Amino acid sequence: DVQSDSQISHLALDIGGTLAKLVYFCGNKKLLKNDEVQSSVKAGGRSRTIIQGKLHFTKFETSKIDECVAFINRKQLGSHHPKDLDNDRIVVKATGGGAFKFADLFKEKLDFCLDKEDEMDCLVAGANFLLKAVNQEAFTYIGGQKEFVQINQDDLYPYLLVNIGSGVSMIKVDGNGKFERVSGTSLGGGTFWGLGKLLTKCNSFDELLELSHQGNNRVVDMLVGDIYGGTDYSKMGLSSTAIASSFGKTISTNKVLENYRTEDLARSLLRMISNNIGQLAYLTALRFGLKRIFFGGFFIRGQSYTMDTISVAVHYWSKGDAQAMFLRHEGFLGALGAFVNYNK
Ligand code: ADP
């Protein structure tokens, strides 16, 4: 009755507007011997079965959902995966709009029944799970330095969860299952990727990020110094290098799009989107008196420039009062939330 290591014993999906995220567990049942039981868990000396294995994370582009289906088909789900006892069909927890959009496809191709879970419920459940169960999950990113934050379980709530996917959701979290989606913006990861693709003709998101690393936004953005003849607007506390108008410099020259380096356009765009989200997040936190802001979503991708810009925006607007924190499993909050729902 032991499952092979490559078989999936539990799978959960989060199929978003841009990416389909998978979280799956591959494991074996292991019978602990008496001495192992005594040294690991107090179980009165009886032998005990535990599940040992690994949680895996992967993603596919939603527009290539067939690749996701083929991947699951190759992996195969073990005989222990939850099933609908009425029809023996495998039941898979799924969230995101794609859980609705692709329900028929999963039924047709894999004979799965997608058990739909609410997207916001899952985001919050995933974030709460990570913040409580995973060591070294949350970190700050200041001046290029990553610093893990020790989460005090008794002092976790309330916090603001900002999920930067294709669009952005801002959720005030007050406890397990206690939350409200208090704000959001359509200027999100989809905007960066979509506009970036048009402006640079990049074929992949990674390529766009790579370009942005090498760019200089000052060629594209209008800075305070451009307006003030190279000096600061010190009365308002604005340094000469502060961005006065994202992309604003492009109107004052005869250059056309082709005359700009794609690296500079990508960098300016990344800065514009990240700055805006950082500022909105802070204003939302201020509105509800929240000090801690956790950022998730696949837009971040552990990118130093993105995290730095968001951190600086939160720090600047809050005058150091609020702090931006990031999550190691940033892109998988929804999928993890659906996964932990197997325990419900
Ligand atoms: P959604 O659930 O809306 O798909 P995600 O949290 O998966 O949201 O984030 C999607 C965003 O992540 C994209 O809009 C893009 O900015 C960014 N992203 C990161 N990696 C990729 C990738 N490999 N392909 C496409 N977008 C990516």
Query: Can you give the pLDDT at residue 35?
Result: 61
DSSP character for 77?
Answer: B
Centre a 10 Å sphere on the Cβ of residue 39 and count the other Cβ atoms it contains.
Answer: 10
Domain parsing of the chain, residue ranges:
10-116, 189-331
Query: Can you give the pLDDT at residue 72?
Result: 95
User: Do the two domains 10-116 and 189-331 of this chain adopt the same fold?
Assistant: yes
In this structure, are residues 20 and 4 in contact, taking their beta carbons and an 8 Å threshold? no
Ligand 1: residue of 207, 298, 300, 305 to mutate (most ligand atoms within 8 A of CB) is 298
In this structure, are residues 325 and 140 in contact, taking their beta carbons and an 8 Å threshold? yes
Query: Can you give the pLDDT at residue 1?
Result: 34
Cα 93-129-288 angle, rounded to 5 deg: 110
Structure tokens at 86: 């009425």
Mean pLDDT by 10 residues, the chain (344 residues): 63 97 85 58 58 90 97 87 90 97 97 96 97 95 94 93 98 97 98 98 96 96 94 88 95 91 98 96 95 96 95 91 95 98 85
Query: Can you give the pLDDT at residue 235?
Result: 86
Q: What ipTM does the predicted assembly reach?
A: 0.98
Distance from residue 18's CA to the centre of ligand 1 (Å): 5
Residue nearest to atom 10 of ligand 1 (CA): 165
Comparing CA positions, the residue from 247, 238, 302, 236 lying closest to residue 276 is: 247
Query: Can you give the pLDDT at residue 66?
Result: 98
**What homologous superfamily is domain 189-331 in, according to CATH?**
ATPase, nucleotide binding domain (3.30.420.40)
CATH pick for 10-116 out of 2.60.260.20, 3.40.50.2000, 3.30.420.40, 3.10.20.30? 3.30.420.40
Query: Can you give the pLDDT at residue 27?
Result: 80
Cα 88-92-95 angle, rounded to 5 deg: 150
Cα 335-336-341 angle, rounded to 5 deg: 100
Give DSSP secondary structure letters for 143-211. Answer: TTEEEE----GGG--SEEEEEESSSEEEEEEEETTEEEEEEEES-SHHHHHHHHHHHH--SSHHHHHHH
User: Which residues sit with their C-beta closer than 6 Å to ligand 1?
Assistant: 16-19, 61, 96, 165-166, 189-190, 192-193, 205, 297-299, 301, 331
Query: Can you give the pLDDT at residue 254?
Result: 87
Distance from residue 19's CA to the centre of ligand 1 (Å): 5
Kind and range of the H or E element at 54? strand 48-61
Give DSSP secondary structure letters for 297-338. Answer: STTTTT-HHHHHHHHHHHHHHHTTSSEEEEETTGGGHHHHHH
Ligand 1: residue of 186, 299, 326, 330 to mutate (most ligand atoms within 8 A of CB) is 299
Query: Can you give the pLDDT at residue 28?
Result: 72
